Amino acid sequence: MISKVIQRPYYIRKLMAFRNNGLIKVIMGPRRCGKSFLLKMFQNQLQQNGISAEQLISIDLEDLALAHLREPMALHQYILSQVSDNKPYYVFIGKQLSANLWTSHVCQGVT
């Protein structure tokens, strides 16, 4: 099955405009509407604007190999282990976040 790629320039422009304002961005929508694909397009746009692949940290919490990252401290340690300098880093956490993980880690930000 071949799916048609739907470009989302409006949303990409919004994400790019607000990328460095210190706020966490949350992409929400019904299943299979293109949230993960939108994030991939955003990552591509960041790279086209000089952000290296090493500065993009992508975590898919539905990947069984990453199941341990569903624990807030494990996620925090993993993200810190990926940061190696003072450049800006972009963290993309895909799929559903539990309320516990959201309130204990994401809302407080990575320090």
Contact between 54 and 89 under an 8 Å Cβ cutoff? The reply is: no
Burial class (CB in 10 A: 0-12, 13-18, 19+), 52: exposed
The string of pLDDT tens digits covering residues 20-72 is: 998 989 898 888 888 989 999 999 999 999 999 999 999 998 899 999 999 99
Contact at 8 Å (CB) between 104 and 72? yes
Rounded to 5 degrees, what are φ and ψ at 23?
A: -100, 150
Beta-strand relationship, 56-60 and 90-94: parallel
pLDDT for the residue numbered 111:
46
- 0.85 surpassed by pTM: no
